[in-house]
Amino acid sequence: MTGDAGADLEVLVRIAYAVHGVVRQARRSPHRADIVGMGAYGVPTEHIDRVAEAQVLSALEAEEVDWNLLSEEVGLVDRGGKRTLVLDPVDGSSNALRDIPFSSVSLALGRSKLGDIEAGVVHDLFRGTTYWASKGGGAFLDGQPIHTRAWDAKNELFFANLGRHSTPRSVALAGKVRRIRSLGCASLEMAMVAQGAADGYLFENDTANRNLRVTDIAAGYRILLEAGGGATDPDGAPLEKLPLDIHARTNIFAWGDPAFAKVAKAEGYR
pLDDT band at 55 (very low <50, low <70, confident <90, very high): very high
Are 161 and 205 within 8 A, CB to CB?
yes
Report, in this order, helix, strand and coil percent for the chain, each rounded to 5.
35, 25, 40
pLDDT band at 40 (very low <50, low <70, confident <90, very high): low
Instruction: Indicate the range of 15-29, 95-109, 120-134, 183-197 predicted with least confidence.
Output: 15-29
Instruction: Indicate the range of 2-11, 134-143, 147-156 predicted with least confidence.
Output: 2-11
Region 135-152: what's the mean pLDDT? Answer: 97
Looking at CATH, the fold of the domain delimited by 153-266 is given as D-Maltodextrin-Binding Protein; domain 2 (3.40.190)
Write down the pTM of the prediction.
Answer: 0.92
Angle between helices 47-63 and 3-27 (to 10 degrees): 150
Judge: domain 3-145, CATH 3.40.50.1970: no
pLDDT band at 69 (very low <50, low <70, confident <90, very high): very high
pLDDT band at 121 (very low <50, low <70, confident <90, very high): very high
Rounded to whole angstroms, the Cα distance separating 83 from 81 reads 5
Region 252-261: what's the mean pLDDT? Answer: 92
Rounded to whole angstroms, the Cα distance separating 14 from 5 reads 14
pLDDT score for 71: 93
Rounded to whole angstroms, the Cα distance separating 179 from 156 reads 6
For residue 54, pLDDT over 80 is answered with yes
DSSP state of 236: S
Region 35-47: what's the mean pLDDT? Answer: 54
pLDDT score for 220: 98
Count of residues in the chain: 270
pLDDT score for 7: 94
